[in-house]
């Protein structure tokens, strides 16, 4: 097993260093952050508890001098600090729809097939890869709103459009790289980022990446087969690996059903092969200065899927080496980190109830999003470690004082106390118990885990006040 990344739940430092040039705004942020962290799934009226705090929260989020980047700055700095303590860093990039319902709001764009109001958030989540994948934090996000109809446009018009949504991939890679400094992370993206122009720009700037291929019919220079797919079909298998696959229900959208078919949970044996190709620049990327692009390609395919199940297959563009079995397996491990950002989106939407926020303007909603970014990271970190390294010491995620408070609270609730040397799994079940979780109901969900953790933090606060440890 790989080394576990030391984490903790001191959320205050994810906000503390912020500076708006106005001490009142800084103090207000810390106050609002403390309130929402105490009950991340609660509405603002419920979380604030009184009219004065509620009004102050709304004024803060609507204040034009308050920006999401400023709110995020301390969390990004802490993410970079955590990244400095691991051997390798993967940055998972993805976009999620943030849907605030069908009631019209002042300046929101359209989402949900144009029937609802909201925007799209594109995120970069830093992850420590390996046998123990650990979320390190968010390095940035960008917002894109769809307003009006642009109609059908040709390749040239799309490439020259300064508001083209596809630019978000390169923008956030560059922001993440700037934040990390000398740490050259591996940037991981799904099929939507499969663009010749994007990959050529990443290569030109010497960014490392693993990007899932959308189609294997691209023309190849000086190859009889003429397509990437044909070359991969003939590539030698370099390694095999067994990986657990989660179950997946039917997707209600026909366009997604083909890409993400229904499947049962299982352990799959994956065969990994690789080759090197030189692509011819397509018409859709005619504005790219690179007339040819040489990349490594890794193919991952399930050797013997169960009857009636579609074989898992990934085809991955990468700048990483592919000479040995260890090389190609490292590419596979880097790509598997991408699923963590999907879990992060669940923490943001379910654990923090972001889409239920009743704010009227995009500016206020984006500020609220920035406010919840560290809270969602904390929920993801705790649940991830409880699942992937439940046997590790509980002191990895909770302090000695927090463990003492947790054990005492469990006794008061007539629940079994923590064992003398608790593991992460012991601690997380105890925390979930504070939130009302019943062990027989399976793994705790985002809401109950967040509720229990925040009760623990309130108990810790009372303990420190009583013992003057503030």
Q: 450-467: per-residue pLDDT in tens?
A: 677 767 877 876 676 677
Instruction: Give me 188's structure tokens.
Output: 């991981």
Q: What dihedral angle (degrees, nearest 10) is formed by the CA atoms of 348, 88, 193, 351? A: -10
**To the nearest whole number, what is the mean pLDDT of the chain?**
82
What are residue 414's phi and psi, to 5 degrees?
A: 60, 40
CA neighbor of 317 nearest in space, from 211, 168, 201, 469:
211
Q: Rg for the chain (alpha carbons), in Å? A: 24
Q: Which helix (H) or strand (E) holds 91?
A: strand 90-99
Q: How many CB atoms lie within 10 A of CB 462?
A: 10
Q: Please give the residue that has the higher pLDDT: either 463 or 207.
A: 207
Asked whether the predicted pLDDT for residue 183 surpasses 50, the reply is yes
Instruction: Give me 124's structure tokens.
Output: 């970069």
Instruction: Give me 318's structure tokens.
Output: 């990468």
What is the rounded CA–CA span in Å between residue 379 and residue 382? 5
CB distance 150 to 202 below 8 Å? no
Q: Return the pLDDT at 260.
A: 66
Asked whether the predicted pLDDT for residue 164 surpasses 70, the reply is no
Q: Return the pLDDT at 226.
A: 73
Q: 213-228: per-residue pLDDT in tens?
A: 987 777 777 666 578 8
CA neighbor of 219 nearest in space, from 283, 137, 273:
283
Q: 373-411: per-residue pLDDT in tens?
A: 988 898 888 888 777 677 888 887 788 888 888 998 888
CB distance 269 to 242 below 8 Å? yes
Asked whether the predicted pLDDT for residue 161 surpasses 70, the reply is no
Confidence of residue 253 (pLDDT cuts 50, 70, 90): low
Q: Return the pLDDT at 141.
A: 95
Q: Report pTM.
A: 0.84
All domains of the chain in start order, with CATH? 1-148+164-187+338-384 (3.90.350), 191-333 (3.90.350.10), 390-467 (1.10.740.10)
Asked whether the predicted pLDDT for residue 344 surpasses 90, the reply is yes
Instruction: Calculate mean pLDDT across residues 429-443.
Output: 79
Asked whether the predicted pLDDT for residue 170 surpasses 80, the reply is yes
Q: Please give the residue that has the higher pLDDT: either 103 or 129.
A: 129
DSSP, res 419: P
Q: 40-84: per-residue pLDDT in tens?
A: 777 788 777 778 888 888 888 988 888 999 999 989 999 999 999
CB distance 73 to 23 below 8 Å? no
Q: Return the pLDDT at 257.
A: 56
Instruction: Give me 464's structure tokens.
Output: 């420190």
Contacts of 351 (CB under 8 A, 6+ apart): 40, 41, 375, 376, 379, 446, 447, 449, 450
Q: 322-331: per-residue pLDDT in tens?
A: 999 999 999 9
Instruction: Give me 370's structure tokens.
Output: 């920035």
How many residues would you count in the chain? 470
Confidence of residue 162 (pLDDT cuts 50, 70, 90): low
CB distance 172 to 140 below 8 Å? yes
Q: Return the pLDDT at 470.
A: 45
| DSSP annotation string for 103-161 | S--TT-EEETTTTEEEEEEEEEEEEE-SSS-EEEEEEEEEEE---S------HHHHHH-
Confidence of residue 369 (pLDDT cuts 50, 70, 90): very high
What is the rounded CA–CA span in Å between residue 159 and residue 464? 57
Q: How many CA atoms lie within 13 A of 442 on its CB side?
A: 2
Q: 6-44: per-residue pLDDT in tens?
A: 555 566 678 776 666 677 887 888 778 777 766 677 778
Instruction: Give me 443's structure tokens.
Output: 């793994």
Helix extents (H) in 152-289:
155-160, 167-180, 196-204, 228-233, 254-259
């Amino acid at each position: 097993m790989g080394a576990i990344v030391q984490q903790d739940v001191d959320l205050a430092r994810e906000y503390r260093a912020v500076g708006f040039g106005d001490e009142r705004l800084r103090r207000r942020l810390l106050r609002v952050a403390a309130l929402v962290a105490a009950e991340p799934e609660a509405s603002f009226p419920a979380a604030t508890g009184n009219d004065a705090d509620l009004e102050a929260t709304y004024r803060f989020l609507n204040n034009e001098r308050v920006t999401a980047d400023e709110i995020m700055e301390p969390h990004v700095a802490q993410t970079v600090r955590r990244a400095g303590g691991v051997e390798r860093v993967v940055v998972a990039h993805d976009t999620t729809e943030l849907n605030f319902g069908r009631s019209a709001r002042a300046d929101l764009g359209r989402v949900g097939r144009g029937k609802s109001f909201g925007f799209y958030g594109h995120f970069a989540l830093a992850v420590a890869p390996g046998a123990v994948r650990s979320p390190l934090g968010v390095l940035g996000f960008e917002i894109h709103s769809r307003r009006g109809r642009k109609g059908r446009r040709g390749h040239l018009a799309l490439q020259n459009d300064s508001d083209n949504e596809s630019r978000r991939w390169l923008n956030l890679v560059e922001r993440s790289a700037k934040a990390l400094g000398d740490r050259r992370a591996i940037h991981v993206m799904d099929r939507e980022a499969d663009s010749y122009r994007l990959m050529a720009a990443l290569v030109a700037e010497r960014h490392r990446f693993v990007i899932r291929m959308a189609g294997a019919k691209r023309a190849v220079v000086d190859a009889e087969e003429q397509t990437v797919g044909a070359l991969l079909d003939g590539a030698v298998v370099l390694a095999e690996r067994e990986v657990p696959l989660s179950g997946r229900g039917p997707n209600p959208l026909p366009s997604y059903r083909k890409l993400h078919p229904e499947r049962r949970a299982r352990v799959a044996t994956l065969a990994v092969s690789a080759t090197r190709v030189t692509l011819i620049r397509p018409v859709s990327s005619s504005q790219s200065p690179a007339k040819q692009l040489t990349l490594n390609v890794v193919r991952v395919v399930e050797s013997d899927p169960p009857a009636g199940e579609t074989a898992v297959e990934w085809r991955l563009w990468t700048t990483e080496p592919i000479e040995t079995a260890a090389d190609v397996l490292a590419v596979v491990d880097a790509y598997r980190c991408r699923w963590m950002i999907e879990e992060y989106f669940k923490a943001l939407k379910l654990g923090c109830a972001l889409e239920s926020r009743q704010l009227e303007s995009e500016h206020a909603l984006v500020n609220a999003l920035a406010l919840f970014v560290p809270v969602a990271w904390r929920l993801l970190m705790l649940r991830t470690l409880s699942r992937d390294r439940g046997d590790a010491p509980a002191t990895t995620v909770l302090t000695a004082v927090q463990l003492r408070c947790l054990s005492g609270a469990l006794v008061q609730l007539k629940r079994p106390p923590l064992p003398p040397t608790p593991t992460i799994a012991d601690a997380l079940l105890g925390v979930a118990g504070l939130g009302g979780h019943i062990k027989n109901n399976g793994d705790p969900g985002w809401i109950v885990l967040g509720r229990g953790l925040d009760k623990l933090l309130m108990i810790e606060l009372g303990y420190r006040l009583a013992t003057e440890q503030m």
